Structure 1
Amino acid sequence: MKTRLIAALCALTAMTAPALAQQASPWPMAYKAAPVEAQLAKVKQGVNEGPFRPDWDSLRGFKTPAWFQDAKFGIFIHWGVYSVPAYANEWYSRNMYVPGNDAYNHHVKTYGPQNKFGYKDFIPMFKAEKFDPAAWVKLFQNAGARYVVPVAEHCDGFAMYQSSFTKWDAADMGPKRDVTGEIAKAARASGLHFGLSSHRAEHWWWYHKGRTYDSDVNDPKYAGLYGPAAPTGLPADKPDNWPDSDLLQNWSPPNKEFLNDWMARTSELIDKYQPELIYFDWWTSSPLFEPLMRDTAAYYYNRSAEWKAPGIIAYKGSQFAEGSAMFDLERGKSDALKLTPWQSDTSVSIKSWGYAQNDSYRTPKSLIADLIDIVSKNGNLLLNVGPRADGTIPQEIATVLQGMGAWLKVNGEAIYGTRPFLYFGEGPTKSGHVRQVGQFTEKNVTSFTREDIRFTTKDGHLYALGLERPADGAVLVKTLYAGTPYLDRQIDRIELLGSGAVTWQQTAKGLSITLPQSGADAMPYALRISFKK
């Protein structure tokens, strides 16, 4: 459904943007014209200095750096003011202003009406008094992660970094710390790569429902947090097949001031934190963002070339030309091997990206199976955690990360630094959907079978990784049958990582392997296959 909404919005913007712009007058932003213009001048200079230009032909010169292809596993962090109410999910900041929404009813019952207690009033409660970035990074390292990507600004408009373009940031309010900067420093000090994510584009319409009744969104004093809160902009000639959605019925294209502010904030993040990866959320897919996407890519690629640390842009929609950035699948996977590196992002928590009370959580086994499946298809897994408002990571999440790390300590050589085999794997279980590019196709837990096997390669070895270990130890790798065209050398030795050599036989039916017997809920396994010289 979300993909359909995005496509419909893009189509509407392309066809009716001028009419919508005339109908809609968004709530005034706290727009700092002078510093924004100064930053835009810097961007204009930067897009014309360096190896890249702001056109798609030039930007197709983007190459995914080797560190990313080697890393395979990163940590995503959704942390912000929404972790204070910790109700339902990270959309609380919007949903609490939508009459009839469960979060709206919960808010009124728990905190009072929105004109007396608004989202802004959670900020002083967001103290982050136990936030220890070094401890976070240690946990992530123990989990086996090789890069860290915090959300620098979510759709709620509260920047989790020290910004020159708003006072509504974590350095001036709430924690009164440059959260993004501290995570960057801790990550790099420990040898992890650092990226960041921006969801600022969605902020254009995020709080608009709060303008339809008596709420604090209507108070000009808080325009820096709630603005623009774009009001309804539905055209009179709405298509008959228009999705029945609050988002679509109350949406208008962003104006020049908002786009300029977005560009200034995005380039500020690039300059200030020099991320090795930038992740953009959905709404930059609007055609009105297209020139900004080209400018952002050229500026970022040119700047990162100066730092001699080529940057990566991860995107989920259609806002970048193929080959100019790296494609990402949200809560989904590809069901085929991709020739270029890609990324899948999902969360340890099932119901929410940010911390929410009474959430459910994935298991280490299910996430390791996903990691193997993704890596075999030339992808990376970016796994999200949602810390509490005080800065602690829930024990349920820490336990999952520790379980993943224990597996990777034994089997990591079949994951890190690997490259795809000629064929990603075999087995009956499908993951993702090629036609729908896998967005939101994730199930909470995918049930793999003993026949689901994936392949990776490194240093002349072939690795066969089973997603479900058979209790009786009998494995048959059908792809590697005697005479298979996928092998150009004879097998010499097969070892179970963490255990040692295993017995095997290559027949017309496949490669038959005998593993030590295991328990019913054993973790996935990895086999190192060596060849005769």
Structure 2
Amino acid sequence: MVTRRRMLQGAGALALLSPLGKGFGHDQEKGAAQVAQQEHAKPAGDDYVPVTDPLVQRKLAQWSDWKFGLILHWGIYSVLGIVESWTLCSEDWIKRPGGVGYVEWKQRYEQLRTQFNPVKFDPARWAEAAHAAGMRYLVFTTKHHDGFCMFDTAQTGYRVTAPDVPYHANPRANVAREVFDAFRRRDFGIGAYFSKADWHHPDYWSPLWATPDRNNNYDVGKYPEMWKRFVDFTHAQINELTTQYGRVDLMWLDAGWVNDRPHPDAKAHGMEVPWAQDIDMPGLAALARRNQPGIVLVDRDVGGPYENYRTPEQTVPDRPLPYPWETCMTMGRSWSWNPHDTYKSPRELVHTLVGIVAKGGNLLLGVGPQPDGELPAAALEHLRAIGAWMQVNGSAIHGSRAIAPYGEGKFRFTQGKDGSVNAIWLADEGEPEPPASIVLRSLKPAPGAKLQVLGAGGELVWQQGGDGVHVALPPAVRRQLAGAPAWTLRISAVRA
């Protein structure tokens, strides 16, 4: 994604890029996952810098209320249904189609822009599906590491609105604007994904030298004028995104290796280079916040004052974290569209959402749009199933906060702003309905508290026993909840 690279099997498509499919297998997916885990291992929060700007604090609190968001990876890689950007990288864990050399592959990849023509693109339908699923914010890939821009930038011709892109004449060709406007009309928070690396730009990957890895391919200390041009280019694009595309709430900056830290002990052909790739984050942040006061910056995997919240990827922490955080996770195995993808079940996705929110985090769920501009049918089906659950239980998710001890057995706890507590029962596979009686041991209702199950109506009878609080669930209540992946017991007040 993002800095992610799961090598997924291509959709055999164009003779232009054939042969495809060879070398895109499970071994590489496993290797990519291991690299991602190593790259995104973070210290225990000692480099998190709390936000002090009151406008950013307010926006961060709003983001925390949203709880559930959608991230969309869409670009020219979607034409073939292959992993986003990473086949351009020369690191030895990456495999390209069999028999195709690196230089030839890069030329073929860049020609994918001449095939990008998503004639079924209708972002209003995307927004409608996401809103019905209970999502409240969006992160969209304006530019991934490959450098292809999904917005009408004036800084490069490598963009969706260029004359050699078939879609450029479509009224919706300025894709990022169309997406942001459609989701904003649904009152979504708007996030712009932007890669700080740019493998197309000649001042990041200079054509004068080979490109051994993801980093820029020259010593910035020896060629400061080249690096300055790239920094100026990056800031100019951030300026465009924060002045020409309406309200933007989040600037989600990927490519964490682009930072101001030197690595003097870096080894040849490793993941690091000796020099710092200083993108001037203080200047970039000042620019973004001058244009969009209060914008939340997410300088992923870097730490410090510009990573306003953390983004553990494809994983759920086993305990609450001491800073704002968001798990970013794919609905299937891939961030971008893959015709052979397999999706997590709605039950698993609901349980994941509940588990994350109970620990104080947000879930940013990834779906890859198809090359024709539609969301995959399976993804839409899963969003509808999640939405059916959220329609009943969303008030236990949106605007909630973590409350210790966060969970107990099959229960996960959240707390509403009114002080009520939600005990969400995660149903086992094949568990058709709640049991006739449940026991809560770690939370005690306050005297006179009212208990009810969301979606069933009516107050429940409860009593304090020696082993905890016993709550009876009548047969009528249990029948109303049959088939749901989780059930929410709401307690109007608990003892301190």
Taking the aligned partners of 1:151 and 1:190, their CA distance within structure 2 comes to 19
**Distance change >3 Å, CA 329–CA 493, structure 1 → 2:** same
Taking the aligned partners of 1:121 and 1:291, their CA distance within structure 2 comes to 29
Taking the aligned partners of 1:116 and 1:279, their CA distance within structure 2 comes to 26
1:463: Cα distance to partner?
Answer: 0.9
For the residue of structure 2 that corresponds to 1:326, the secondary structure is coil
Conserved? CA contact 1:284–1:319, under 8 Å: no
Conserved? CA contact 2:204–2:217, under 8 Å: no
Taking the aligned partners of 1:133 and 1:524, their CA distance within structure 2 comes to 30
**Distance change >3 Å, CA 426–CA 101, structure 1 → 2:** same
Alignment of 1:378-417 (within 5 A): 378-417=360-399
For the residue of structure 2 that corresponds to 1:103, the secondary structure is coil
Corresponding residue to 1:280 among 232, 235, 253 = 253
Q: Which moved more, 1:181-190 or 1:523-532?
A: 523-532
For the residue of structure 2 that corresponds to 1:262, the secondary structure is helix
Corresponding residue to 1:372 among 325, 336, 354 = 354
**Distance change >3 Å, CA 85–CA 411, structure 1 → 2:** same
For the residue of structure 2 that corresponds to 1:346, the secondary structure is strand
Query: Residue 270 of structure 1 aligns with which residue?
Result: 242
Map Cα deviations across residues 343-380 of structure 1 (whole Å, 9 max, x no partner).
Answer: 11111121x10001211111111111111111122211
**Distance change >3 Å, CA 224–CA 253, structure 1 → 2:** closer
**Distance change >3 Å, CA 262–CA 102, structure 1 → 2:** same
1:248: Cα distance to partner?
Answer: 7.5
Corresponding residue to 1:477 among 417, 434, 440 = 440
1:295: Cα distance to partner?
Answer: 2.0
Query: Residue 450 of structure 2 aligns with which residue?
Result: 493
1:396: Cα distance to partner?
Answer: 0.8
1:159: Cα distance to partner?
Answer: 0.3
For the residue of structure 1 that corresponds to 2:167, the secondary structure is coil
Corresponding residue to 2:405 among 423, 434, 437 = 423
Instruction: Mark the runs of 5 or more structure 1 residues left unpaired by the alignment.
Output: 9-55, 208-222, 234-245, 428-450, 482-486
Corresponding residue to 1:317 among 301, 323, 336 = 301
* 2:118 pairs with 1:159: no
Conserved? CA contact 2:68–2:364, under 8 Å: yes
* 2:167 pairs with 1:175: yes
For the residue of structure 2 that corresponds to 1:145, the secondary structure is coil
Taking the aligned partners of 1:420 and 1:7, their CA distance within structure 2 comes to 23
Map Cα deviations across residues 215-237 of structure 1 (whole Å, 9 max, x no partner).
Answer: xxxxxxxx67995368468xxxx
Taking the aligned partners of 2:215 and 2:231, their CA distance within structure 1 comes to 21
**Distance change >3 Å, CA 496–CA 320, structure 1 → 2:** same
Which one has a larger percent helix, Structure 1 or Structure 2?
A: 1
Map Cα deviations across residues 19-74 of structure 1 (whole Å, 9 max, x no partner).
Answer: xxxxxxxxxxxxxxxxxxxxxxxxxxxxxxxxxxxxx8996664152431221111
Query: Residue 28 of structure 1 aligns with which residue?
Result: none
Paired letter, 1:276: D
Taking the aligned partners of 1:133 and 1:148, their CA distance within structure 2 comes to 12
Taking the aligned partners of 2:93 and 2:354, their CA distance within structure 1 comes to 42
1:407: Cα distance to partner?
Answer: 0.6
Query: Residue 425 of structure 2 aligns with which residue?
Result: 466
For the residue of structure 1 that corresponds to 2:320, the secondary structure is coil
Query: Residue 30 of structure 1 aligns with which residue?
Result: none
Conserved? CA contact 2:193–2:252, under 8 Å: yes
Paired letter, 1:178: N
Query: Residue 280 of structure 2 aligns with which residue?
Result: 292
For the residue of structure 1 that corresponds to 2:392, the secondary structure is helix
For the residue of structure 2 that corresponds to 1:329, the secondary structure is coil
TM-score calculated relative to the size of structure 2: 0.74
For the residue of structure 1 that corresponds to 2:304, the secondary structure is coil
Query: Residue 289 of structure 2 aligns with which residue?
Result: 301
**Distance change >3 Å, CA 225–CA 475, structure 1 → 2:** farther
Compute the RMSD of aligned alpha carbons.
Answer: 3.4
Taking the aligned partners of 1:418 and 1:57, their CA distance within structure 2 comes to 21
Query: Residue 90 of structure 1 aligns with which residue?
Result: 84
**Distance change >3 Å, CA 99–CA 530, structure 1 → 2:** closer
**Distance change >3 Å, CA 83–CA 453, structure 1 → 2:** same
**Distance change >3 Å, CA 419–CA 163, structure 1 → 2:** same
Corresponding residue to 2:191 among 184, 192, 195 = 195
Conserved? CA contact 2:149–2:159, under 8 Å: yes
1:267: Cα distance to partner?
Answer: 2.6
Map Cα deviations across residues 382-435 of structure 1 (whole Å, 9 max, x no partner).
Answer: 1111011110111011011111111100101111122222432234xxxxxxxx
Query: Residue 23 of structure 1 aligns with which residue?
Result: none
Q: How many residues align?
A: 416
Query: Residue 62 of structure 2 aligns with which residue?
Result: 67
Conserved? CA contact 2:453–2:489, under 8 Å: yes
Corresponding residue to 1:326 among 309, 321, 328 = 309
Corresponding residue to 1:105 among 95, 98, 104 = 98
Conserved? CA contact 2:40–2:312, under 8 Å: no
Taking the aligned partners of 1:128 and 1:226, their CA distance within structure 2 comes to 29
Conserved? CA contact 1:70–1:417, under 8 Å: yes
Map Cα deviations across residues 286-322 of structure 1 (whole Å, 9 max, x no partner).
Answer: 52355622222233233322xxxx2111233124338
Alignment of 1:482-521 (within 5 A): 489-490=446-447, 492-500=449-457, 501-515=459-473, 517=478
Q: Which moved more, 1:261-270 or 1:505-514?
A: 505-514
Query: Residue 77 of structure 1 aligns with which residue?
Result: 72
1:513: Cα distance to partner?
Answer: 2.9
Query: Residue 211 of structure 1 aligns with which residue?
Result: none
1:179: Cα distance to partner?
Answer: 0.3
* 2:339 pairs with 1:336: no
**Distance change >3 Å, CA 232–CA 2, structure 1 → 2:** farther
**Distance change >3 Å, CA 248–CA 120, structure 1 → 2:** closer
* 2:496 pairs with 1:528: no
Taking the aligned partners of 1:251 and 1:276, their CA distance within structure 2 comes to 33
Conserved? CA contact 2:311–2:325, under 8 Å: yes
**Distance change >3 Å, CA 460–CA 77, structure 1 → 2:** same
Corresponding residue to 2:331 among 348, 354, 366 = 348
Taking the aligned partners of 2:96 and 2:203, their CA distance within structure 1 comes to 19
**Distance change >3 Å, CA 415–CA 162, structure 1 → 2:** same
1:114: Cα distance to partner?
Answer: 1.9
Paired letter, 1:375: V
Paired letter, 1:490: P
Taking the aligned partners of 2:424 and 2:468, their CA distance within structure 1 comes to 15
1:249: Cα distance to partner?
Answer: 9.8
1:339: Cα distance to partner?
Answer: 5.1
Taking the aligned partners of 2:304 and 2:281, their CA distance within structure 1 comes to 7
Conserved? CA contact 1:81–1:123, under 8 Å: yes
1:188: Cα distance to partner?
Answer: 1.5
Taking the aligned partners of 1:379 and 1:57, their CA distance within structure 2 comes to 16
Conserved? CA contact 2:70–2:130, under 8 Å: yes
Taking the aligned partners of 1:297 and 1:508, their CA distance within structure 2 comes to 56
Taking the aligned partners of 1:57 and 1:504, their CA distance within structure 2 comes to 42
Paired letter, 1:401: L
Query: Residue 206 of structure 2 aligns with which residue?
Result: 228
Alignment of 1:14-29 (within 5 A): none
TM-score calculated relative to the size of structure 1: 0.70
